[in-house]
Amino acid sequence: MEANQEVLAALYNLILAEGTRQWERSQLIIAKNALENNQSQGLAQLEAVLRPLALRDNLSPDVMDFYQALTETTSIATPSFTKTPQRSMQAADTETAIFAGGCFWCMVEPFENHPGILSVLSGYTGGQLAHPTYDQVLTGHTGHVEAVEIIFDPAIITYQELLTIYWGVTDPTDAFGQFQDRGAHYRPIIFTTTKKQVQVAQASKNQLQETMKYLQPIVTEILPAKPFWPAENRHQQFYLKQPKRYRRIKRARKQLQQFKALSAWTKGVFGAKKS
């Protein structure tokens, strides 16, 4: 309880500070309210929403100090904060999943509103370039793919359930992109963060192939997770920031998904009759 009071005091100070930007203040208030309601997930969510700006050194100075304390990357600068055990700043028993399935604009909403999901962050991974930008990844020469990093509570939602969502919003037979998104930086990949995830993902992929839902081979790769670089803030929660544009993109993606499924079914039915 004392640790929570120390964190709350730091949050209050930042909320009231003149140098705190309005967007930062709104996120701090959300975290403060969650902590006051004994919701430990609030700090994990705050860390996730601040991360894109923090990694680009674009937070106001005091909020950056708080963020560094939150992520244990530096000693805590606020005197009253020094008493706070670092573990109390973290959400316990969380797990991370990373999925690539085409443009990350369409990969956030399908996951974000499920119980047990703490945060869904758009970003880049799989390549060699550190701190890549959207324009650099778009060239297709960085080795990165657009992806989402999902922090979740496995006691509420399992990794298998996340995989079920993933298979439902991607085309696992397309190695050269996803629907209208073409290029190597849009290829479908499951990046695993634990040995158990490797086993569950491979079993799930095998099961999907055995269902004969797809006539073509499942080409989605399963690879060990590499450093995940959060995308620029304008790409985070794109479906909320540009809802009309997102709905158009989502509709086109869904139509292509349905067309491909119908084509596969037609080919299967009439191909079977001919044989």
Task: Just list the catalytic residues.
Answer: 103
* Helices 2-16 and 61-70, packing angle to 10 deg: 160
Non-local CB neighbours of 243 within 8 Å, separated by 6+ positions: none
179/181 Cα distance (integer angstroms) = 5
Cβ neighbours of residue 54 under 8 Å, at least 6 residues apart? 64, 67, 68, 71
The per-residue DSSP string of 140-200 comes to: T-SS-EEEEEEEE-TTTS-HHHHHHHHHHHS-TT-TTEETTEESGGG--EEEESSHHHHHH
What separation, in Å, do the N-terminal and C-terminal C-alpha atoms of the chain show?
71
Q: From its phi and psi, is residue 237 left (phi > 0), alpha (psi between -120 and 50) or beta?
A: left
Amino acid, single-letter form, for residue 183: G
